Chains A and B, each alone.
Chain A
Amino acid sequence: MTNHTPSLEVRNLTRRFGDTTAVDDVTFTVEPGQMTGFVGANGAGKTTTMRMIMGVLTVHGGEVLWGGRPITARERTRFGYMPEERGLYPKQPILDQLTYLGQLRGMTRKDAASEGTRMLERFGLGDRLKDKLESLSLGNQQRVQITASLLHRPAALVLDEPFSGLDPVAVDSMVDLLRDRLREGVPVLFSSHQLDLVDRLCDSLVVLAGGKVMAAGKSTELRTRGPRQFAVTTVPDAGWLRAMPGTQVVDVDGARAVLEFDDDAAQDRVLREAVSRGLSEFTPLVPSLSDIYREVTR
């Protein structure tokens, strides 16, 4: 591996369609070896951003940087890309089309064919190399599509909804594949609607809404960014917590309450009081990505 693995940066990226601004001044960085999740509602501008990164859509403002410099077409050919709408030849044998795509990216016919064979075999499609794409199940078609984006050993990966339509086992085998690339220092940007999946996989997160970045950064930082909350359960009733100074009660439901403390002293006071009243739970709450997502896009 080279010591210097480039990062993929998006700076002030803007794109308009007619009067609407689909992507508005978007800035974020996909660090080498990091899995960065790209989340947002339908129409938030994820696909538009990814298409601009891949150079298939004209940029109206801002730029895409690779290793700190504006990206060239030549460098883009080394990227792996999985478009939102799946794209391969339905009526062609799967190995043939992988070989073709590899050749277009500079592999020799032989290398592309043997690499394609190897990857398809790993995916359990070794006996279907000569089958037409359309004869495969949707899940298997997806596997071929993933192979197409990884075949040429890409320097970066831009994947639009790579997990949609995959069963949990297929998701795992794909994640294994991606982890492999990540270990070699490849930056990976992927979009998804499945927040739980993003939560499980991502090192970093970019939240997009209405074409604007709502939050971006390492998942751990984003989780601790907001006020820390605690769940406290005292039997039989948690209503007394409302009277405690320096304590915000976010929610009470019978014996359980969710709290925020103004300072450590307030936290200490509540803990002591709770113990005397019959404490059964005192837990710091780590927000899930869904929470963060809801919070920032509210």
Chain B
Amino acid sequence: MSTATSTRPPQLDDAATPDLPAVKNPWLVVTVREIMVKLTDRNFLLSTGLTVVLIVAGIGLSAFLGSRTADHTVVVTSSEGREIAAGATEAITADDSGDTLTITEVADEAAARQQVLDGEVDVALVATDEGWSLVGRESVDGTLSGALSASVTSTVLDANAQAAGTTVDTLTAGSEVTTELLEGSDERNALKSAAAFTFAFLFYMAAIIFGMAIANSVLEEKQNRVVEILATAIPIRQLLYGKVVGNSLLAFAQIGLFALVALIGLNITGAASDFGWLLGASGWFIAFFVVGFTALAAVWAVLGSLASRSEDLQSNTGPITTVIMVALFVGIFADGVWLTAASYVPVVSSVAMPVRLLHGDVPIWEPIVSLLVVIVTAYALLRLGERVYQRAVMQGGTALKWRQALKLEV
């Protein structure tokens, strides 16, 4: 027989008093749990870490490719050839890329061709009856052939002009054609497309990944009937709020982390010399992301509550996934009046409006109105979601439809 103390069941005497205070903000307790569960989830940490690694690798790779130098070699057979090649050197080394051009000279064309064939040099510059010829083995690098051709042209033109008693400048006066872009520069426009793609993809990724997380977290509680215990402790509404807020915060934090890593990376590699123009659109993107994601979060939570097994989620999340896909494709492909229209459609506008802001002048009232539309939609969806969720989440057994769930008694 054991002693009295060891057979005594757990005592609660000096614990909390029987009259516990009411929880002030139950949703906050739920939010904290949602976040803590995710932050201790190995899969979540792993995928986040992997994405960070990919971003760093991507920036590193592009920096590496951008700074890689080419060492060109050319063989000539005469001092004239050497002069032309020297002219090309200027063009190749001019753009700070660190590229070089090494010139060697051999006695005749046959020796030059042999060197090319042996791979000792990239190209041979030889004189022919009609002018000059570039001899390569399998291909000639574009930069190299361009520079050599230009040098040939200018050298020959120069010589011909002198022979005719005039100068090249006189001959070519008034023939120069320049290209002028009315909107930004080529490089800037490419960056804008990249930024638009990034906005669209970030929204798509976060909406799907964290949306699914919300749905699964709701379903887990429904399936394991934890919700029955939770419902006796706090209003079921508060559970929904807590989940939406918790997962939304996680989504924002993850996107924020990725953005931070990308910005630091771009700064270190020196690619971020001129990103001021991007900040305005990015700020709007964050605002639209937050509201658009919240609107979707309520829907995801409802979908989780309507399902009865995780298989049901695969079928009932079809429509919402389609909406998110539309937002993605609009961000990448839409243009003109279509883009303008899309920038007012809730959720799709989360991508479309920031993309519009990237590309041109949009009066300030437009994003504000569009943002208000999303906020109203988010509120409406949350209220509707609350009604469906409250009913469906207590209803085990079979998968439900929105309509069926609304007809249920609380």
Asked whether, in the complex, the Cβ of A55 is within 8 Å of the Cβ of B224, the reply is: no
Contact stretch, chosen from B7-15, B89-97, B253-261: B7-15
Query: A174's closest neighbor in chain B, by CB?
Result: B9
How many Å lie between the Cα of A100 and that of B234 in the bound state?
12
Closest Cβ of chain A to B347, distance in Å, is 31
**Interface size class of chain A, counting residues whose CB lies under 8 Å from the partner chain:** 35 or more
| Contact call A106/B21, Cβ cutoff below 8 A | yes
A85 B228 Cβ-Cβ under 8 A? yes
Report yes or no: A56 in contact with B234, Cβ–Cβ below 8 A: no
Does any Cβ of B come within 8 Å of A11's Cβ? no
Please indicate the chain B residues that have their CB under 8 angstroms from the CB of A121 in the complex: 10
Q: Is B10's CB under 8 angstroms from A152's CB?
A: no
B235 touches A87 (CB 8 A): no
Given contacts A54-B232, A87-B226, A89-B224, contact A100 B394 (CB under 8 A): no
> How far in angstroms is the closest Cβ of chain B from A19?
15
Say yes or no for A218: interface residue by CB 8 A criterion: no
B225-A153 in contact (CB<8A): no
CA distance A115 to B10 in the complex (A): 9
- Neighbouring B residues of A78 by C-beta, 8 Å: 18-20
Interchain CB contact under 8 A, B235 and A73: yes
Please give the number of chain B residues whose Cβ is less than 8 angstroms from any Cβ of chain A in the complex. 38
Q: Is A81 an interface residue (CB 8 A)?
A: yes
Residues of chain B within 8 A of A86, CB atoms compared: 224-225
Q: Does A166 contact B (CB under 8 A)?
A: no
Residues of A within 8 A of B229 (CB): 81, 83, 87-88, 101, 148-149
Known: A81-B229, A107-B20. A58 touches B9 (CB 8 A): no
Complexed CA–CA distance, A103 and B33 (Å): 10
CB distance from A90 to the nearest CB of B (A): 6
In the complex, what residues of B have CB within 8 A of residue A114's CB? 15
Q: Tell me if B22 is interfacial: C-beta within 8 Å of chain A.
A: yes
Chain A CB within 8 A of B227 CB: yes
**Binary interface encoding of chain A residues 188-217 relative to chain B, with 1 for a CB under 8 A from any of its CBs, else 0:** 000000000000000000000000000000
Q: A85-B225, A92-B37, A111-B16 are in contact. Are A104 and B9 (CB under 8 A)?
A: no
Q: List which A134-171 residues lie within 8 A (CB) of chain B.
A: 147-150, 152-153, 155
Of A55, A87, A104, A119, which contacts B26 at CB under 8 A?
A104
**Least distance between B322 CB and chain A CB atoms (Å):** 30
Shortest A77–chain B CB gap in Å is: 5
Nearest 7 A/B pairs, CB to CB: A87-B225, A106-B20, A122-B10, A176-B9, A119-B10, A177-B9, A104-B233
Q: Spell out A's residues near B (CB within 8 Å).
A: 51, 54-58, 73-74, 76-79, 81, 83, 85-92, 100-101, 103-108, 111, 114-115, 118-119, 121-123, 147-150, 152-153, 155, 173, 176-177, 179-180
List 26 contacting pairs A-B, 8 Å CB cutoff, sorted by A. A54-B232, A56-B228, A56-B394, A58-B410, A77-B233, A77-B234, A81-B229, A83-B225, A87-B228, A87-B229, A88-B224, A89-B221, A101-B230, A104-B23, A104-B233, A106-B16, A108-B16, A118-B11, A149-B229, A150-B10, A150-B12, A152-B20, A153-B12, A153-B15, A155-B18, A180-B9
